[in-house]
Chain A
Amino acid sequence: MSDLLPFVIAGLASGSIFGLAGMGLVLTYKTSGIFNFAHGAVATAAAYTFHELRTVRSMPWPLAGAITLGVFAPAAGIGLERIARRLADASTANKIVGTLGLLLAVQGGATILYGSSVLTFQPFLPTGTFAIGSTQVGYDQAIVVVLALIAAAALYGFFRASRTGIAMRGVVDDPSLLSLSGTSPVRVRVQAWVIGSIFAALSGILIAPQLGLDSILLTLLVVQAFGAAAIGRFSSLPLTHVGGLIIGIGASVSTRFVGDVPTLAGVPSSLPFIVLFVVLLTFRSPAMDERIAGGRERPSASLGERTPSLGVAVVVASLVVVPFVVGSKLPVWTNGLVFVILLASLALLVNTSGQVSLCHAGFAAVGAATFSHLASGAGLPWLVALLGAGLAAVPIGAVVAIPAIRLSGIFLALATFGFGILLERMVFNTSIMFGAFGNRPAPRPDLLIIEGTSDHAFYFVVLAVVLLTAAALWAVQRSRLGILLRALADAPVALNTHGANSNVTLVLVFCITAFLAGLAGALLGASSGSISGVGFGPFDSLTWLVVLAISGSSVLRTGAIAAVLLAIAPAYLPTWFTDYRSLGFGALALAASTSLIDGAGLQRIRASLATTAPRRVARSPVRDRTRHSFGEVAP
């Protein structure tokens, strides 16, 4: 045990930060039902605010800290509460997209204002050390540990004893009853969001001196707190703090054991996500019964695709002409076509069946790697390798369907996000996928009658695959399976009562979407001649979902618009626009999901993002039970 003590001590500091960030996350989720993916963005924005005040405007750090925590964080909390209020009756997918949009917008904004390089964040707490056994502990680390402990205890007491705390529990249980007792539910929720934002801001300021000022790293750090929140069952604040400590200490202690086993070297840094995935897969709590309680909502009023018409023929004809008019931009258009497959398959999952996946890029990565192994490694014919790429992704889709059977909405999103991160960190750079150097060859076809290696020929090969995929997706939507998928989105329980098995339908749709994503991954590889994990990370999945949400509510059309936005348009925009892309996508997704925009063109977006008759759903007994279930768990 004494052998492990230094690692336990080292893990306490990290774990306290995870716990601190996790508690803010759980607090706001408990009181609003909105899981704030942008929690890390609040921490990031607070750290930059502190830096601006202290370093740029030369304020003393206590004053900068007071302004950040006393002014900025409450203002952010009030703003977030307004966003959350607008999202309250939206579909789960819409809630996810709204906060993801905020995350992207804050990251993009920070990059525009402060650049993409990491800024040094000078320490403001004492950096001296003291010894516990053979381990040196920094005073700043000890302060973080104590602060987190005090915060957890204070919040626990606050919820148990204070009038506001009890009101916060009451707003979860029954806001109308709380209102009758003379307490404004809105005010209570605002208070909860303010406290949650202060926690996020505090964690951002405390960690920035160690991490440096980097919008992506700060966000990633808080993402690791999702695992702590999972241990707290997304409802218990003390347990969330304990969860943070378990993850921090666990990661630290595992470092002691994996040093001699290179294949396990990625375990310590992946532990938060292993915990997240395992907890979501194995434990249940009332707060996680969103699906059973009816949290699944029909995502769109306009699902199927229309019968092929003259318009479609014109589009196809235009696509045939593309290689002859776009000149050197042809590779970009080829990529755009591949993205149509990729995003239409995601749209089938999200827009038709009401599921959420944040590991879609993982499916594509598996397909890409398999394609390289089959086509370059095993020397199989190109078409066989392409088919194999799609098929290889199917079992992964089936695996991801397991959490989809058990979970829905936000928890499914979190589970798939964790799975995507695990895939990237634990498998991508192994010989199974992209290898130690992270790169594998991916040939273009040399078919019997077409020499597909030229850009023009390959474009038409891809176009053929896209048209076949489009036809298949169109047929699926019109088949019995398509009806089942829409029913799955509308009312899975009703689906079961009619004799159909919703679990089988779920597995089927995940397998189909994984197959198509695998195909797309292979084509992306063949398009560039080699494949790597670049572009297949979990944050790519996240961006794809956001862009899909602002592109519409159908499958093919939405996939095509999203492909244009993601893959084609950037090539025609100035380089500096890259920095504005995240901000633009994020802001648009946030605006669309909160119905802040009502222009004629965007009304369709709003319609696609909003659920059918959300207010009616909100007032239904089923919905009320959902809210009630959040409040059943002790703080």
Chain B
Amino acid sequence: MEGADRRGTPQRAWLLVVAVALVATACGNRLDDAALVAANYIEIDGTALGGDAALGDVGGGADAAGQTGPSESTGRAGSTTRGGDDATPVHQDGSASRGTTPTSTESATAAPGDSSPIVVATIGNYSGIAGSTIGDFPDILRAWAADVNRTGGIDSHPIELIAVDDGADPARHRSLLKELVEERAVVAFIAMMAPLTGASGVEYLNRKRVPVIGGSIADQWYGTSAMHFPHASYHELYYRSNLAAWAPTLKQAGQTKLGTLVCSEAASCQGGEAIWSDNAAQYGLEHVYSGRASLAQPDFTAECIAMRRAGVQAVALSFDINSNRRVASSCARQDYRPRFLGVGTITAPDFAEDPNLDGYIVGAPVFPWTDSSTPARQRFHDAMAAAGMTPSPNGADGWTAAVLFETVADRIDGPVTSAAIIQGLYALDGDDLGGLTGPLRFAPSGPPPLRACGAGVIASDGAWIAFGDASIVCG
């Protein structure tokens, strides 16, 4: 009897676990919006933005847009972003639809004359280790959404932005995609920075035909997924765009002997290693050194000595922000000061103030975040200022992705649906979003026919300076 009791107790406990889990799960599906926010979402913007975003205020905002300098110069209402090569309105009934699978997100529409919000979202690795380098993307998108809503929304529809952290869990990422598409009527995902989890959603997004615009464009799936629309050079082209951005300065300075030093722990560090070394010659550079080092190394003195011996004049770094600083410090101690090269997500704005990193070049895939010489770029600066944010490489990156969505959505003549957005993206023909990025084209079949385009931004005497005339170089 006693034995029977002993057997029964854990069994009952186990059953209880299952029962509780199921009940909790069922409850979870019935969470109202407020509970969802509390449970998962970092923040929801849009109609909840406050007075600015309320539809009644949108009209006022539109009036203001016509009266105030900043609104005019920002080009909100699409004046700059729509002024590209192709401003043809996109109709939802376009016959060039790729494939035959009907979209399942047609419910995510806003009828003509309706003022319902356009729901967009971003799901990413916004906490933990990855979050320390890309965790600011939700804030950047929030600044964009606030800017759009402040000036009348898109065709009078305010933007509702849902930003969610997936905790770097691929299953959770996919689960959140389903939830947002099927229960929250999200029409598109913007600047989805999910390098650790994004691949888990590719199949679902392609099946549901919901577009992702921008995000972690260096990742492999941007070259293979039909629903991923890069806002700049993607995957291998992304790394080649780094070379395109670095090369003019390096050649001008006569620092053409290139080394690469990347972290040994993560694949995300090593993505560019082979591409930089294999393609250096095309950009007039000579690759002379490859090295890997641990993020947890006490210092990088040995690597610096090895690079000096190899004759490295410029070294492309791929660590985290902190280790990039440490490499420069170790080399400076040896009185070895090569020019350091990096990409936007692993560049902190205060690198410019670090004397060891003087001359550091960021190979940005989009416009130099320091530049405000065009209306579209000025709008970025104004929006960042309004949001209390400092312009940054990540800021320019996320902003460009958001403006790509905005540009396409603004041209849609009718309800803004996933299908209409996809057609709008296919209709682009070399549009550079008013100088925010390189020429954009998307093909219904095959990978986007883009080029390797980028801009160099240099840390010089405590400030960031765009190379040349701050234009985007394609090569």
Residues of A whose CB lies within 8 Å of any CB of B are 6-7, 10-11, 13-14, 17, 115-118, 129, 135-136, 138, 141, 207, 210-212, 214, 216-217, 220-221, 223-224, 251-253, 255-256, 258-259, 262, 265-266, 268-270, 306, 309, 311, 314-315, 318-319, 321-322, 325-335, 424-425, 428-429, 434, 436-439, 444, 453, 455, 527-530, 532-535, 552, 557, 560-561, 564, 567-568, 570-575, 578-579, 601, 604
Contact = CB atoms under 8 A, between A and B. Distances in A.
Central interface residue in B21, B26, B220, B306, by most chain A CB within 10 Å: B306
B116 interface: no
A257 to B, nearest CB: 9
A443 to B, nearest CB: 9
Contacts of A529: 199-204
28 contacts: A11-B302, A17-B298, A136-B335, A211-B298, A212-B322, A217-B295, A217-B296, A256-B302, A256-B309, A266-B292, A269-B292, A311-B15, A327-B29, A327-B178, A330-B175, A425-B294, A436-B274, A439-B267, A444-B203, A528-B174, A561-B14, A570-B172, A571-B171, A572-B25, A575-B164, A575-B165, A601-B13, A604-B10
Interface in B220-273: 220-221, 264-268, 270-271, 273
A535 B28 contact: no
Contact of B296 (A211, A306, A334, A561): A211
Interface stretch (B37-45, B62-70, B430-438): B37-45
B301 interface: yes
| Nearest 5 Cβ contacts at the A-B interface | A438-B267, A528-B200, A269-B294, A530-B199, A335-B171
Interface in B261-306: 264-268, 270-271, 273-274, 277, 289-299, 301-303, 305-306
Nearest to B218: A437
B169 A315 contact: no
A214 B320 CA distance: 12
A573 B29 CA distance: 13
Nearest to A604: B10
Contacts of A211: 296, 298, 326
Contact of B199 (A221, A444, A532): A532
Q: Chain B: interface residue count, which band?
A: 35 or more
Interface in B153-170: 164-165, 167-170
A223 B200 CA distance: 32
B175 A439 contact: no
A552 B10 CA distance: 10
B298 A221 contact: yes
Contacts of A115: 132
A14 B310 contact: no
Given A211-B298, A252-B301, A570 B167 contact: yes
Contact of B305 (A135, A326, A424): A135
A212 B291 CA distance: 22
Given A255-B303, A311-B14, 13 more contacts: A10-B299, A211-B298, A265-B290, A266-B292, A311-B11, A311-B12, A322-B22, A322-B25, A326-B29, A327-B178, A425-B294, A453-B203, A528-B170
A117 B134 CA distance: 11
B88 interface: no
A144 B13 CA distance: 54
A334 B201 CA distance: 14
Contacts of B168: 534
B99 interface: no
A532 B170 CA distance: 11
A92 to B, nearest CB: 25
Nearest to B30: A327
Contacts of A129: 333
A43 to B, nearest CB: 12
A3 B321 CA distance: 32
A6 B309 CA distance: 11
A574 B22 CA distance: 18
Given A13-B298, A438-B270, A117 B132 contact: yes
Contacts of A259: 289-291, 306-307, 310
B389 interface: no
A434 B25 CA distance: 34
A10 B305 contact: yes
Contact of B334 (A135, A265, A533): A135
Interface string B200-226: 111110010000000000011100000
Interface stretch (B123-131, B410-418, B451-459): B123-131
B18 A315 contact: yes
B179 interface: yes
Central interface residue in A138, A309, A571, by most chain B CB within 10 Å: A571
A163 to B, nearest CB: 36
Contacts of B86: none
Contacts of A331: 171-172, 174-175, 178, 200
A200 to B, nearest CB: 15
A571 B123 CA distance: 14
B132 A575 contact: no
Contacts of A530: 199-200, 202, 221
Nearest to A257: B306
Contact of A13 (B17, B293, B299): B299
A333 B17 CA distance: 14
Contacts of B171: 331-332, 334-335, 527-528, 567, 571
A6 B28 CA distance: 61
B112 to A, nearest CB: 30
Interface string B430-452: 00000000000000000000000
A424 B44 CA distance: 38
Contacts of B15: 311, 314-315
B203 A570 contact: no
B48 interface: no
A253 B7 CA distance: 60
A55 to B, nearest CB: 16
A6 B303 CA distance: 11
B302 A332 contact: no
A438 B305 CA distance: 29
A239 B17 CA distance: 51
Contacts of B183: 327-328
B321 A118 contact: yes
A436 B271 contact: yes
Nearest to A577: B167
B386 interface: no
Nearest to B23: A325
A571 B165 CA distance: 11
Contact of A328 (B178, B303, B310, B322): B178
